[in-house]
Amino acid sequence: MGESKLPFFAFVDETGNTGHNVFDEVQPDFLTAALISRGNFDTQYGPRVSSIAAKLGHSALHGKELGLQRIESIAGDLLALMKASRTTFFVSRVEKKYLLVTKMFDSIFDSGENAGISWHHYNMRPLRLMLTFKLSYLIEDETARSFWKCILEPKEARAREGLVKVCGELLESIALLPDEGSRKVLGDALVWARDHPEAIQIHVDRKIARQGHFPNLVAFTNLLRGLEDLSKRFKRPVARITHDQQSEFEITLKTYHDILSTASDDEIRWAGETYSFQAVKGSTFETKEDNQSAGIQVADVILWLYHQHYKKKALPRGCQALLQYVFTNGWEADFSFAGVEASYIKNYLPILEGPIAPEALERGRELIRHYELARLSSMAQYEADGLPPFMRQASSLIQPQEES
């Protein structure tokens, strides 16, 4: 098989996994690095990686064990290897505090469950992101811990009680928001969720589903989406994903891979965005000890350097060159307050600050009036039938046809 026909193989390493404890101040971020090769990197380049490790008297490469000086001494060899193998890289940061805020917003303010918030405030991405940032101003440390305990609670009644407590604490801080609009939107929705906790799907009864809240599952899903984009761009499939072996989340990672790789490839158009659930169709997933995978070892070294870069450590020239290759020949997913803010400014600020034609402004006002009437109707209807919005078929509760 010619090189042009070889499928992609991905080799993944991670750091910062604190499991249930997302409040560990020593490890505020969860970081992932994946080496992506055309063909099986372990088979093709395993002996070469072993030879590089042997120069340092090691049987395998581990960034933390080597440290900057010894990595610098083999940086030229690693860079030559990366260029020869034409590897691509995925590097990811998940800021645990930002993850918690997004989980809180999705859990409490989903307009399909919470009749107290309008459809557009949850489903229109620019508005959702803006409100998520504003929600973060209301969250004290105790409230954050109460919420995290709530979504991981295995008993439904206790989860509901926790939700009421969290909504009450957030409402006590609502005056911190500087604008009346945000105070009303978030405040109305919090009051409704506090008073109707039975409508909010805060509880999941399976451990695997609860583990889906954790940073490593967010990073892993981002990786699969990124691999899918890479596969489409180069018109070659992803054959296998090899993940550093770790016992706690291995079953969950495999389950997520199975779900996405076998999902329908239908595209869904929703609120101005296009979504497809399928990713890396036909690929397999496995775990290996890092000593048994050259690809994971190189990913480990890159991940360690990436971590030093984020901690603003001074890197010697060879190590800088390695990271420069990674940033030039790969992509970065920064799921953090700073990363999402930068993306928001780039994608939406020109639109938000640009001129609005009078007819577009009036049409927007009409849509807002429509959504507000639908919100009021939904709250009243819930008192009559006890059904959350997603269970109804009333046309007034869905986006107008002209917006699709």
CB 42 within 8 A of CB 293: yes
pLDDT given at position 118? 96
Higher pLDDT, 3 or 312: 312
pTM over cut 0.85: yes
Cα separation, 187 vs 184, whole angstroms: 5
The type of residue at 81 is L
pLDDT given at position 183? 97
Least confident piece of the model among 25-39, 275-289, 329-343, 383-397:
383-397
pLDDT given at position 216? 87
Residue 197 has, within 13 A of its CA and on its CB side, a CA count of 18
In this structure, the strands spanning 273-276 and 330-335 are unpaired
Mean pLDDT of the chain, nearest integer: 91
**Structure-token pair, residue 36:** 């992506």
* pLDDT category of residue 246 using cuts at 50, 70 and 90: confident
Share of the chain above pLDDT 90, in %: 78
The helix (run of H) or strand (run of E) holding residue 93 is strand 88-95
Share of the chain above pLDDT 70, in %: 92
pLDDT given at position 404? 33
Backbone angles phi, psi at 345, to 5 degrees: -60, -40
pLDDT given at position 1? 46
The type of residue at 202 is I
Delimit the CATH 3.30.420 region(s) of the chain.
Answer: 3-94+213-335
Q: What is the pLDDT of residues 40-70, one digit of tens each?
A: 999 999 999 999 999 999 999 999 999 999 9
pLDDT given at position 203? 82
CATH number for the domain formed by residue range(s) 3-94+213-335? 3.30.420
pLDDT given at position 196? 97
Mean pLDDT of the region 127-155:
95
Cα separation, 115 vs 109, whole angstroms: 9
Q: What is the pLDDT of residues 249-294, one digit of tens each?
A: 888 899 999 999 999 888 777 666 676 788 999 999 999 999 999 9
Chain centroid offset of residue 165 CA: 27
Mean pLDDT of the region 78-92:
96
The answer to whether residue 401 scores a pLDDT higher than 50 is no
Cα separation, 123 vs 131, whole angstroms: 11
The answer to whether residue 383 scores a pLDDT higher than 70 is yes
Cα separation, 71 vs 66, whole angstroms: 6
pLDDT given at position 394? 45
pLDDT given at position 182? 96
Q: What is the pLDDT of residues 203-226, one digit of tens each?
A: 876 655 566 678 888 889 999 999
